[in-house]
Chain A
């Protein structure tokens, strides 16, 4: 197809050839093409098949207002080809077709529309119930837009930015640019968002006169140049605004250009004031086959020629209701389009100059006429025109039918911001009535049409926004208001909703194949509000949301209900206003995690590092996921474990003890010097949220640990529960400041003796003791003698910077005993054998301190009461019907149930928290939370494991600890 190459409005570069693949052929597009215009230039007219009826669909709006031109591009479904710039080598596929878009084997669906009235899914396929799953499968197969492969990998770079601005202007047309320039002149920082890849809006492609011999497109370029030269305006082009939230938070998606380092990015803007200048789209004309390829809106036809150099057809008929249609007809006629008829819905009110020019061009002009039927199976061949009363008809051959009923302000951003809209009888549009604070509207959105008025309203909005930001602009405001008043106001709009047709094939929503007839069916069934009609007919629920049906649907409903005041409102729109990649929402997908100070040492010792909460930790030290060697080495010899992820805190100050008393269930005044106190925290429901140890390092000075998962919340928790008290204490989170080695096993002391600068004999440093000493005459160590894994063990806390050195020293000292690392999994088995719980493994949200058998950690007689959780602990002490933690061993040790398997009889009685094969006991053992009567020793537990195929597993409740019940090994 030859391009018009001399037009000054063009946005293409014919010298740049771009190839694309479609239907196993290579086609050529040129620089500046969208995918859609490139296909159009190559003679493609049918882009897709519709959702339900598989009707052929083609170019209609050129702004992605409907799913007509959504296609699969390089494996990505539902790409809006009208808004996506062509890139070399793109592979394009039509959607919802079997065969090709031109010859779709499902095309017969169009003749079955009688079988699919409004709401037919809900009404026909639910009785008898078993039909539904079968029907659902077929419906899914036949209907739908693009498909995505489950293992599809989204390539590309996605980013996010969070800029702040004084004024954010949405829409880079004449009104938006005027507003931005006006606000910027006041010295304010302005962000300007434009969804197309250039500024200019509805001036950009028009050759009509602006004033004094300047054309509109020249004016647009002049404004755009000034904007780009204004340093305090940050313009984002190819950036669709998608969300507006209170406090003037605006979100947008930007498509990256050639030189950008991202493909798409999410932009979240905080602005003090917002100007919405999104302009208008066209209101579709409703007649039979109104979406047949070859039927398109005014600006679609006009922009194809003026922006992309493509004459939209050869022989055209216009059926319009707005002067823009007359202007486009004249301009396109000048560019070589043969136009036989221009049917104008309006009886009068046209610009006389345009009408006279049409006559000069010998284009027949019909007032009060409208298209009622487009002929042609796959594209328009002929159109039937009719008087709007339906009294006279005339058939006209054509291959292009430019059809549009009028203008629709793009109020989506205002609706999202909860502005109030009202129907305006003069323009026939929904116009902003009440705007949220610090939000202003300008331009065609206000019903304006005159170029100077549009700019003046932009100036005014820019000044009002500046005033919001504290600029002194009273005089300017007054002057601009007066100027705007002297300029032409909103023009009378065409109000025709539906051509005189029955409407069986008149589509009010293209995305969902909703016809006028469907809407009538819904109304007849009693859905008498637009929102209900929308839900029942699905009109407006497709990817175009509001674009096609948004204005016509409420008008049609109002007309049907004989509501002359049109109290109906456009249905709700939701963000994102335009479809966006989930990849863009996901952004860079930063996988940020913490590494312990012994990370490198562990890794070089063969540690297999896995993500665990916010940390990366060593899970295993061999390929054996059962960790037999690691476990047995701790039981029989000595192992070392990186426990640096433990939460570690210092709390000090005159009221430190009070704070400890408040949050810990136990009596924290009973902490002896040189001794560790095991303690637990509950929430106000008495549910256990944390356990750890506390030591007293000095007067009003404590050091304590929390479980890994609670480290991030502990300061917040202390401060929250003391927020009314005004106590004087300080807290510092030392989690990252200290590393921890757990040295465990019968030979642990022999290793420690070699490096410690102090006596660590059992007498000098007994079980549950706390000591501070140095290692190698330098490294300051806080040592806690604990026994989480059930063996003689020392937790050595050292400043993180010493961790790697200490790790090396301990490893070196342990060499002669064949010391080994052990990882998380080995620790998990070891502590389970010892019956030690991990909060979150043996407890869940509802588990109280009583339930896990840690009641001894609660001091019911604590003075200075008001302990968090104490009230609930008292009240649930003897509560029945709770779950209780019980140990069990399996009858068949060769099959260990998976964690999370459920305990059943005739109902669910509990679940397995953890179960493992114990190498030391040669049994399969575990811990389970079960209904308390089942926790009695000797009870047989029936365990249902996933995919057990009815073969239950059996275990018996036994006392814990399973291993070393007297606790001799901890005290060795």
Chain B
């Protein structure tokens, strides 16, 4: 390092060193222990959580940003990022749909998003517009009766600190990777969900989520715990396009699944992908992992990834309990200049554990996509089984699809099956459908939806319909 740069770094540090204005709505750009203390103080966090953040931060300083993913983006200046800004005040939000970008509303229409949800999604202060408050209250009542805790992460820290402390970082430790360490240091909010033993969560945790928590943070933290014999189906994100001034996103999701419990986690990710040249799109670096702690536990990840300029994401399952089951169903679309390096890790530790991976990658325009999957069978995992199916569909001839399957087997009784295919949307198929009266875009979207059928089948019903529409919207202009 030249002495000039050293000076710069030191002066920057110095600059932040005096940042203690707890009343500020926004932290100045940059990351330091002071900033972390500021965030923690803002959120009135207990000491143990501040200590956790600081530990993560100190570890993060020792790490290098990973360069192995097959994605290309300019160097991120982590000292140029704002790590805390207060939630927007309701008076700053648009007052009615008239103030919302008509283009956005048009997309909601195309996606078939119910009318009453559009206002909330567009960021209009919900209670000012329609009576979803009562809807939300009913949801809350129903969940409370069942003993389910479902709230923001910040609320959980205040109201259920013992649960948060017990499970936070237990699946994705702060040392896990560069982005996970960063998230652990600076996460601002997210969701917390706890299902007590023997309880089947009485509702899909989706509609509620969409109305009330559509605003996700830049460094989101989610923790889901299903105690023995519990069940929950959780849906993150929504098909509506999401914009954010912050380009860098690094979320962490942890799932703990005890004996005989089941967690179904579905994601629809539609962050702004940038323009045709990839300008302005979101960088999405996500660490998602679930642990099947007890016997017969089951975790399913289903994801539909259509947004972001850069996607770096490998939802994984640690199969500790005997007979535990891990599933990963994924549809990822890369169009225009989007790049995605995504896949899964299935780690077999327990006996007779089984995992299924179905990955469907669609590339169009100049989109680039890599599937990266690891199936690891440890010595003790007698009778482990994995089935992997990894299909790529290309639209046009300027896009690319790549597959990097890693298989590590240390137990000879394991059965591993891997199938892969690459196909193109053929002119013959498109013409055939057009001859039956479908427009070119409808034809392509029908073919693409057919390609993704096995994954869409895993989504909650009404969401599957929206996901299909989303695919069509994402691929608009990709043909012809």
A binds B: no
